[in-house]
Amino acid sequence: MQISSITRLSDRGTLTLPKKARQLLGLSKSQTVRIVATANKLTIEPVDVVATSQLRSFSQKQIDGWVEEDQLTSNEKLDAIKKLENLSR
């Protein structure tokens, strides 16, 4: 589906997006958009719309595996803390 319309900039440079275009993209008040300007084209793209279908799914096993693999031995932890202390000096 494509929506095409002609609109006019206000004195302050603000632009009202047509309702149909907002509805199509699910844009609501305070939505963040990215504006990309090239020589003769302006693209307005929602950037914070994260559809659930775009997100990854992780199993309980995967997450448990990450938590387990991430564990530090006492020596590794001591080593890392010493290095971090040196970095903050």
Footprint of another protein (CB under 8 A): 32, 34, 36, 45, 47-48, 50, 52, 54-56, 58, 60, 63, 66-67, 69-72, 76-77, 79-81, 83-84, 87-88
User: Measured between alpha carbons, how far is 78 from 10 in angstroms, rounded to an integer?
Assistant: 61
> What's the closest the beta carbon of residue 26 comes to another protein, in angstroms?
14
User: Measured between alpha carbons, how far is 16 from 75 in angstroms, rounded to an integer?
Assistant: 60
> What's the closest the beta carbon of residue 10 comes to another protein, in angstroms?
26
Pick the closer one to another protein by CB: 6 or 35.
Answer: 35
Contacts of 41 (CB under 8 A, 6+ apart): none
